């Protein structure tokens, strides 16, 4: 049996030195949007081992007892006309299972372990600002992450009572699964939960046998689950989780008492991962603070000697300081800041002062105004001393941007076809083409014949 705890503690350097992975945006590695990549892979390894039967000692009993219990409950509910009789989903002898299981485990399709369905349609006219919470996929994701959610959609108590009669209302120990967006995110319904959910956006796994759902909830977070729900039989990426697809997912089933031990061991190891992640986050915070301090000293150097002293301090520790996305981004920003402060290259007294260049631009603008080629603009006030962010080198000047260009404008938007341009047709760029720190020329609309762009 693999001793995962020993595997973690004996190889901390591997798990903790892996690059921090950003989920979204940029910033210091202490934010909630960041995960330590090594620890993320460790979590996946723990779940992989758990559902391969390699995490805890095996039981002497078989999973058959557990599966028979579910079948017995299903048969009774069908007989009592509480649920409809569904065709049992067999595992074909030619069907390829993900891997070989321990002898007392079994593969079973998810649809045979409960009832997977969606909600009854709730029309937009029935949405209210108060009453019974009405959740979409986004609210289920937040519930799964934070155990609470601020909701803005509700339905009436009367409608909720009608839906109860239809049998699709979430009940204690059922599991909600997101069907759109980030698909397959699980949330176990608590004893005090009272809500309804949007059809197609969210699926519900009705836990008809009322077994403890935690083994299945952990499975719904595993790499095996994610691989199955995100790829179809042809290897194409899937963006929605349908009832049909969810029914066909293969689940490794151990004996019931082994399920409990697996959940306990997984939770124990995940807590260790939390501690490792917190330890690395604190270390990353300290590293980011050091980088910020040293780079700030560089930009705030009062003279050339102090600048050299501060720069040499950075050079001596360069390979230690600039190892993360955040630190490299800060270095880039510092280089740009030093450039506009006149501290990046040596000053040459023989260079023409900036005042001469500004005078030439002013003369050219005056000439074009006189010729009627550009419009005269209102003179801008002189830049006051307290407006200047830092002292410039000799020969440099502060000026308004408008005084350095002949003319500026906001552009215009002619009538366009909403589709992107093809071939040599004219295209009008959309705002999103120049957002997020990059230029994307393909984000455009086709200009009609007769439109001219200068």
* 175 bridge partner residues: 188, 205
Give residue 171's pLDDT. Answer: 94
pTM: 0.66
Q: Which two tokens stand for residue 343?
A: 């501290």
How far, in Å, are 158, 170, 192, 196, 439 from residue 134 at the CA level? 14, 11, 15, 5, 40
What contacts 415, CB < 8 A, 6 or more positions away?
A: 448, 451
Least confident of 34-48, 102-116, 125-139: 34-48
Q: Give yes or no for a contact between 29 and 281, defined as CB atoms under 8 angstroms apart.
A: yes
pLDDT for res 33: 42
d(CA 149, CA 139): 6
Q: Is the dihedral of CA 234, 239, 243, 247 positive or negative?
A: positive
Instruction: Tell me the torsion sign for CA atoms 356, 362, 363, 368.
Output: positive
pLDDT in tens, 323-354: 888 899 999 999 999 999 999 888 888 999 99
Query: How far apart, in whole angstroms, are the C-alpha atoms of residue 411 and residue 409?
Result: 6
Comparing CA positions, the residue from 148, 149, 168, 151 lying closest to residue 159 is 168
Burial class (CB in 10 A: 0-12, 13-18, 19+), 286: exposed
Q: Do 49 and 4 touch, CB atoms closer than 8 A? A: yes
Rounded Cα gap, residues 443 and 423, in angstroms:
14
In contact, 148 and 112? CB cutoff 8 Å: no
- The chain-wide mean pLDDT, for the chain, equals 85
pLDDT of residue 191: 94
- 413 Cβ contact list (under 8 Å, min separation 6): 428
CB 229 within 8 A of CB 183: yes
Query: Rounded to the nearest 10 degrees, what angle do helices 304-316 and 256-299 cross at?
Result: 150
* CB-based burial label for 166 (10 Å; 0-12, 13-18, 19+): exposed
pLDDT (mean) for 96-106: 92
Q: What is the full DSSP assignment across 254-318?
A: --HHHHHHHHHHHHHHHHHHHHHHHHHHHHHHHHHHHHHHHHHHHHT--SHHHHHHHHHHHHHTH
d(Cα 210, Cα 74) in Å, to the nearest integer? Answer: 11
pLDDT greater than 60 at residue 22: no
- Cα(372)–Cα(375) distance, rounded to whole angstroms? 7
Q: In this structure, are strands 196-197 and 132-135 parallel, antiparallel, or unpaired?
A: parallel
Question: At 105, is the secondary structure helix, strand, or coil?
Answer: coil
CA dihedral 90, 94, 98, 99 (to 10 degrees): 110
- Count, residues in the chain: 454
> Among 96-105, 218-227, 300-309, 392-401, whose mean pLDDT is lowest?
300-309
User: What DSSP string describes 10-43?
Assistant: TTHHHHHHSPEEESSS---TTSTTEEEHHHHHHH
284 with 290: CB under 8 angstroms?
no
Domains identified in the chain and CATH numbers: 62-254 (3.90.220.20), 282-341 (no CATH)
Q: What is the model's pLDDT at position 29?
A: 46
Q: What is the pLDDT of residues 163-182, one digit of tens each?
A: 998 878 999 999 999 999 99
Q: What is the mean pLDDT of residues 194-223?
A: 94
Q: Is the pLDDT of residue 57 over 60?
A: yes
Residue 238: its pLDDT value, please?
A: 64
How many whole angstroms separate alpha carbon 71 and alpha carbon 12?
A: 45
Three-point CA angle 80, 253, 251, nearest 5°: 90
Q: Cα angle vertex 180, ends 174, 183, to 5°?
A: 65
Q: Which residues contact residue 254 at a Cβ distance below 8 angstroms, ignoring those fewer than 6 apart?
A: 53, 58, 59, 63, 102, 104, 105, 215, 262
């Amino acid at each position: 049996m693999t001793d995962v705890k020993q595997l973690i503690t004996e190889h901390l350097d591997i798990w903790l030195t892996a690059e921090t992975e950003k989920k979204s945006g940029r910033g210091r590695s202490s934010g909630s949007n960041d995960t330590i990549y090594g620890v993320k892979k460790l979590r996946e390894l723990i779940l992989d081992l758990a559902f391969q039967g390699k995490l805890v000692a095996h039981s002497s009993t078989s999973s058959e007892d557990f599966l028979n219990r579910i079948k017995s409950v299903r048969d009774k509910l069908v007989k009592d006309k509480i649920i409809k009789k569904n065709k049992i989903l067999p595992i074909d002898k030619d069907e390829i299972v993900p891997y070989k299981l321990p002898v007392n485990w079994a593969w079973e399709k998810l649809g045979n372990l409960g009832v997977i369905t969606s909600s009854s349609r709730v029309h937009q006219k029935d949405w209210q600002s108060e009453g019974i919470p009405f959740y979409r996929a986004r609210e289920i994701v937040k519930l799964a992450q934070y155990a609470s959610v601020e909701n803005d959609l509700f339905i009436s108590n009367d409608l909720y009572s009608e839906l109860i009669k239809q049998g699709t209302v979430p009940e204690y120990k059922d599991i909600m699964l997101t069907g759109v967006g980030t698909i397959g995110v699980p949330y176990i319904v608590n004893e005090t939960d009272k809500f309804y959910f949007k059809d197609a956006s969210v699926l519900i796994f009705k836990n008809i046998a009322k077994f403890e759902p935690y083994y299945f909830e952990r499975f719904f977070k595993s790499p095996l689950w994610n691989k199955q729900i995100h790829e179809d039989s042809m290897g194409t990426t899937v963006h929605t989780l349908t009832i049909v697809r969810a029914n066909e997912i293969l689940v490794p089933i151990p004996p019931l008492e082994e399920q409990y031990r697996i959940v306990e061991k997984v939770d124990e190891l995940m807590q260790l991962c939390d501690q490792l992640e917190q330890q690395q986050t604190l270390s990353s915070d300290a590293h980011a603070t050091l980088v910020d301090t040293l780079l700030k000293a560089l930009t705030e150097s009062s003279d050339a000697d102090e600048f050299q002293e501060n720069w040499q301090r950075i050079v001596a520790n360069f390979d230690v300081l600039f190892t993360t996305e955040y630190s490299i981004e800060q270095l880039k920003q510092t280089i740009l800041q030093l450039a506009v402060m006149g501290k990046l290259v040596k000053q040459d007294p023989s260079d023409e002062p900036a005042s001469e260049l500004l005078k030439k631009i002013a003369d050219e603008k005056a000439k074009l105004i006189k010729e009627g080629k550009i419009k005269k603009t209102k003179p801008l006030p002189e830049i006051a001393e307290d407006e200047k962010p830092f002292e410039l080198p000799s020969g440099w000047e502060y000026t308004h941007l408008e005084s350095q260009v002949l003319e500026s404008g906001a552009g215009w938007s002619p009538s366009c076809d909403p589709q992107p341009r093809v071939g040599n047709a004219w295209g009008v760029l959309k705002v999103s083409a120049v957002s997020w720190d990059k230029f994307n020329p393909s984000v455009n609309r086709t200009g009609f014949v007769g439109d001219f762009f200068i």
